[in-house]
């Protein structure tokens, strides 16, 4: 894996590529991250992330590969990618969508284990009643991402 770090409105953000896909993201700088991507895929991932953070990109096209996770976690991560930009679902709603309505807490664990946050948008999953609970990157980052997407979605709806 090759890690690249970029500055973003939520602080340093690292992205890992393996030559064929994005296989990890991380809030902060990863120890061996470089400041400039070394291949076309890394450049595409960094460009898409910068565009997303600027409010110009509402859907990632970079290929993603998640090399680990239980079947349940993979189902949750797949469901995350189906949540439309600017919208949210609750942990309970996601649990029902993956076929286990009583597994809201397990959905939270899967969110915490998401190896590709932002691109696989775990920030779009909220607590019952829309409460902002838990986020591996910190609630301040979750709020920033949700506010960014809400603002951009509203601008698109009204333009």
Say which CATH number the domain at 152 has.
Answer: 1.10.10.10
Catalytic residue among 23, 80, 116, 122: 122
CA dihedral sign of residues 95, 106, 92, 117: negative
Mean pLDDT on 123-151: 94
Residue 23 is among the residues annotated as catalytic for this protein: no
In a domain, 66, yes or no: no
Structural domain harbouring 80: 71-158
Give the DSSP H or E segment for 67. Answer: none
**pLDDT of res. 50:** 97
Residues 31 and 76 in one domain: no
How much is the pLDDT for 136? Answer: 87
Distance CA 104, CA 11 (A): 29
Note the pLDDT tens digit of each residue in 78-112.
Answer: 999 999 999 999 999 999 999 999 999 999 999 99
Q: What is the pLDDT of residues 43-76, one digit of tens each?
A: 999 999 999 999 999 999 999 999 899 999 999 9
Instruction: State the total domains in the chain.
Output: 2
Residue 159: the pLDDT is 83
pLDDT at 35: 93
pLDDT of 148 > 90? The answer is yes
């Amino acid at each position: 894996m090759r890690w690249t770090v970029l500055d973003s409105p939520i602080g340093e953000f690292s992205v890992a590529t393996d030559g064929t896909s994005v296989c990890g993201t991380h809030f902060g700088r990863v120890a061996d991250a470089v400041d400039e991507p070394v291949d076309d895929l890394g450049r595409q991932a960094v460009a898409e992330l910068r565009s997303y953070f600027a409010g110009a990109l509402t859907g990632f096209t970079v290929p993603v590969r998640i090399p680990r996770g239980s079947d349940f976690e993979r189902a949750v991560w797949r469901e995350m990618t189906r949540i439309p930009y600017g919208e949210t679902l609750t942990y309970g709603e996601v649990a029902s969508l993956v076929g286990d309505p009583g597994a809201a807490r397990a959905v939270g664990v899967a969110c915490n284990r998401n190896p590709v946050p932002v691109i696989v948008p775990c920030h779009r999953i909220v607590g019952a009643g829309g409460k902002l609970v838990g986020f591996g990157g910190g609630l301040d980052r979750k709020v920033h991402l949700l506010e960014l997407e809400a603002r951009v979605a509203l601008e698109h709806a009204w333009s």
